[in-house]
Structure 1
Amino acid sequence: MKPPFIRLVLILAIASIASTTALAQNAATTDSRIVQSRDRAVIDAGLDERLARDWGLKAEEFARYRQLMQGPLGVYSPNLDPLTALGIEAPTDEERRRYAELQVQAEARRVEKTLAYQRAYDAAWKRLHPALQPVLLTDAGSSLSTPGAPGRLAVFVKDDCPACEHRVRQLQSAGTAFDLYMVGSRQDDARIRRWANKAGIDPAKVRARTITLNHDAGRWLSIGMQGELPVAVREVNGQWQRQ
């Protein structure tokens, strides 16, 4: 049996080794986390720079967009694109005009691509389902800066909303012309087509533009209405009124 003094020395030595090992492991873990955080920051910065270029924005403008979407604007309208968000919150008329022009240019490019795909889609539909009539997505939303033309009814709806479908069926049955805007569509044309089919919208009325199908793209927020969807509004003397 080792003397008490030797046992104490061994215990202290073992404790020191264990402590050193734990500190080394903690340091390694901390270093690894720092490296991972740095790598993630570099990746995020690179992604933001690319996204900023895609929208025709500077890096600091896209950073401001990120900041805006963390506040009330992002809560009320979580799917706003950068140009709409920055335009709504622009501090000066000059900046607001710039974002509006950038958005018009972006929308023009999108519409051109959409029309090209629409033609391909129509051709494929005729080949695969010649006896069925598709619902066509119009480009009314791209040519309107505010909901609807003067005097036309604008109807705001959302997905998974039986009341929205019921309201649209009522309007269509009454022969009402209206512009439909889907809130939260995420610029997904296929989502609007599916919703229109489900709601029983007549494709002939869409082609004749009696009814138009549009992405909301922030319009619901821009007119300042509140409440649950569906909501139908009409412009009267420059003011939007519920119908």
Structure 2
Amino acid sequence: MPSPTNFRALSWLPITLLFGLASALAGGDFISDTRISQQRESRETRTDEQLAQDWGLRAEDWVRYRQLQQGPLGVYSPNLDPLTALGIEARNDEERRRYAELQVHAESARVAKELAYQRAYDQAWKRLYPNLLPVSLMDARNNSPIRLPGNGRLALFIKDNCMSCNLQVKKLQSAGLEFDLYMVGSDSDDARLRRWAQQVTLDPLSVRERRITLNHDAGRWNSLGVAGDLPALVREVDGQWQRQ
């Protein structure tokens, strides 16, 4: 039979083991948290580096972009892309020229991809819905204001329930002109735009072949700064949009 002293030692043994186990676990948790934090920081670092590479930027460029977004520029233009932000806040002519060239390359690549997909989309539409007028894919999926590209084509801005707008469309169509049509106030409702096109008897073949395109305005009309009411037939001339 163990002595009282030995009994007391044995009785404390499980508690000592428990304290040791708890300490080990605590240490393990600490190590685990440290590793997780290090891994998270490593992932974030790689993400920033990858984002910089996506825009053709250097690591120091991305750091400066982050800083700019925390200042007045980020308040005035919170969604400005890195190249535009850095170009606007360029510290000298060399920087400004470099960012401008990077942006030209980036936008050229983006537009090429979008046009390639738009062509694939148009082909799929003709195959799957040959009797339904297509609405421009990129316009219908974007709810934010979009800059109107100056591609040399006529752009006609109209609104629903507008007799003079309908007459303008018929006039352009009868003349065989190619143009991009934008409905102001369409709320990105494809069905509404198609109903209007059917009411004015817009030529389905011209739409399918994109001699005439159907688009939601998505804020373009207000961004042009052209005075006057709708309908508005405009074209870009020397960088300025003018009524025709």
**TM-score of the two chains, using structure 2 as the length reference:** 0.55
Aligned-partner SS, 2:225: strand
Determine the structure 2 residue equivalent to 1:104: 104
Answering whether residue 21 of structure 2 is matched by residue 21 of structure 1, we say: yes
Determine the structure 2 residue equivalent to 1:82: 82
Determine the structure 2 residue equivalent to 1:51: 51
Aligned-partner SS, 2:188: helix
1:197 to 190, 204, 227: 190
Measured in 2, the distance between the counterparts of 1:28 and 1:172 equals: 72
Given that residues 87 and 95 in structure 1 are in contact (C-alpha distance below 8 angstroms), is that contact kept between their aligned partners in structure 2?
yes
Measured in 1, the distance between the counterparts of 2:218 and 2:73 equals: 21
Measured in 2, the distance between the counterparts of 1:13 and 1:72 equals: 65
1:116-135 Cα shifts (integer Å, max 9, x gaps): 22222112111111111112
Determine the structure 1 residue equivalent to 2:225: 234
Determine the structure 2 residue equivalent to 1:41: 41
Q: What is the deviation of 1:112?
A: 1.2
Q: What is the deviation of 1:94?
A: 3.8
Measured in 2, the distance between the counterparts of 1:172 and 1:97 equals: 46
1:152-210 Cα shifts (integer Å, max 9, x gaps): 99x9xxxxxxxxxxxx7469776499997xxxxxxxxxxxx992626628597995579
Answering whether residue 65 of structure 2 is matched by residue 65 of structure 1, we say: yes
Measured in 1, the distance between the counterparts of 2:70 and 2:106 equals: 24
**TM-score of the two chains, using structure 1 as the length reference:** 0.55
Q: What is the deviation of 1:31?
A: 0.6
Measured in 2, the distance between the counterparts of 1:69 and 1:108 equals: 25
Q: Which has the larger radius of gyration?
A: 2
Give the CA RMSD over aligned residues.
4.9
Structure 2 unaligned blocks of 5 or more: 140-145, 169-178, 228-244
Q: What is the deviation of 1:57?
A: 0.5
Measured in 1, the distance between the counterparts of 2:111 and 2:57 equals: 20
Given that residues 90 and 96 in structure 2 are in contact (C-alpha distance below 8 angstroms), is that contact kept between their aligned partners in structure 1?
yes
Identity level (%) = 43
Measured in 2, the distance between the counterparts of 1:172 and 1:62 equals: 49
Q: What is the deviation of 1:106?
A: 0.6
For 1:129, give the aligned amino acid. Y
Deviates more, 1:96-105 or 1:84-93: 84-93
Q: What is the deviation of 1:73?
A: 5.1
Aligned-partner SS, 1:195: coil
Given that residues 169 and 200 in structure 1 are in contact (C-alpha distance below 8 angstroms), is that contact kept between their aligned partners in structure 2?
no
Sort the Cα spacing of 1:117 and 1:233 in 2 relative to 1 into closer, same or farther, 3 A.
closer
Measured in 2, the distance between the counterparts of 1:109 and 1:127 equals: 28
